[in-house]
Structure 1
Amino acid sequence: NQVFDTQFSIFTHQETRQQTIRTLVYSVPATLKEHIELVHPTIAFPVLTQDASSFRVTPFNPTTVSPLVTNLNLISNAVPTSCNTVVTPACLQALYGLPASVPQQNVNQIDVGGFNNQFAQSADLKSFLSLLRTDINSNTNFSFVSVDGGTNHQSPAQAGIIANLGVQYTIGVAGGVPTTFVSVGTAGGISGVFAAVETFLLSNALPNVTTGFIGINEADIPQSIAIAICSVFMQFGARGVSIIVASGDGGLSICNFGWSNHGD
Structure 2
Amino acid sequence: MTFDLLQTPLLVPETSKQPFQEFNRDLTIGANIGFNVVGFASVYANTSIGTVNLVNIPFNASTELSGLQSLGNPAPTITELQVVSGTPAGLTLAITVVIVNPSSISLSAGDIVLDLMYKGVRQGTVTMPKLAIIPGANTVNASSTIDPGASPEGLELLTLYTGGTGATVSIAGTPTSTVVDSLSLAFGALNIESQMPGLQSKLLAGASLIVLDTTLVNGLAETVVTVNNPFVPPMTILSIDSTITYGGAALGTVVSTFSSPPVIPGI
TM value normalised by structure 1: 0.22
Higher normalized contact order (CA 8 Å, seq sep 6+, divided by chain length): 1
TM value normalised by structure 2: 0.22
Q: Considering fraction of residues, name the structure with more helix.
A: 1
Based on CA coordinates, which of the two structures has the bigger radius of gyration?
Answer: 2
Q: Considering fraction of residues, name the structure with more strand.
A: 2
